[in-house]
Amino acid sequence: MAGELEGKVALVTGASRGIGAAIARGYAERGALVVGAARSADQLRALAATDPEHISTATVDLRDEESLSGLVDLVVERHGRIDVLVNNAGVAPAADFATEPVAQWRNTLEVNVIAPMTLAQAAGRHFIAQGGGKIINIASTTGVRGKPGLVGYSASKGAMVRFTESLAAEWARHNIQVNCIAPGAFATDAQSAVLESPDLLHRRVRRIPAKRMGDVSELVPLACLLAAPGSDFITGSVFVVDGGESGKL
């Protein structure tokens, strides 16, 4: 609904494309001031151009501690406050676990776990001082049920789920809600190999009871609910959005 996030300030990571871009645009359409953060300056400019009144951007590498540490402060300097943090950015390297280098695990954990925790801690200081806030972590169904070939990624998203639940319990007394969205198969750039192969796409969709992949726009209403005042009693929850794939026998 237009205006439901009027006056809210949101930071969305991984906002240059896919799920992050869809959430950033959805928040802006509902009246929020959004700072979209990612590594790709060109794609961020394209995002901002869709709604320059509501969307501004910040180029950041989540593996760069110095760049990361000032991101929340940048949002506050720009808009005077921060109300919503969406930890969406992530990496998902596929590998044979027996030969996957330790350096790749470290990179996956740094981007998918350490960076979101660092941003949550920084945003949380402002939330506590101002009397509340929202943190929305984007995990994956692989964080709920493991997947072969994605051991490191699955472990990192599993950590995100437990992080969500633990932080929600710790910060509920500060009126800070922490929730998690766990998408299944969505038609994004990350799924390009599947989308470009009719055979792979057929096999992938066959495992989904809804018989299709999701569209990123279908995650926006949930992300908006979790950012809005109507979700003030929802915290520590993990919302699986996968067309029924995780729930089937």
Cα separation, 175 vs 154, in Å, equals 30
pLDDT recorded at residue 94 = 87
Domains and CATH numbers, the chain: 9-189+216-241 (3.40.50.720)
Which is catalytic among the residues 153, 163, 171, 186? 153
pLDDT recorded at residue 139 = 96
Tell me if residue 27 is catalytic. no
The phi-psi region of residue 215 (left if phi > 0; otherwise alpha if psi is between -120 and 50; otherwise beta) is beta
193 pLDDT band, cuts 50/70/90, is: low
Cα 155 to chain centroid distance, Å, stands at: 16
Quote the pTM value.
0.94
pLDDT recorded at residue 208 = 83
* pLDDT of 201 strictly over 80: no
Average pLDDT of span 107-116? 95
Q: Are 147 and 126 in contact (CB under 8 A)?
A: no
Cα separation, 111 vs 65, in Å, equals 11
Number of H helices, E strands in the chain: 10, 7
Cα separation, 177 vs 134, in Å, equals 5
- Other CB atoms closer than 10 Å to residue 94's CB: what's the count? 13
Dihedral angle sign, alpha carbons of residues 92, 96, 97, 101: negative
pLDDT recorded at residue 82 = 98
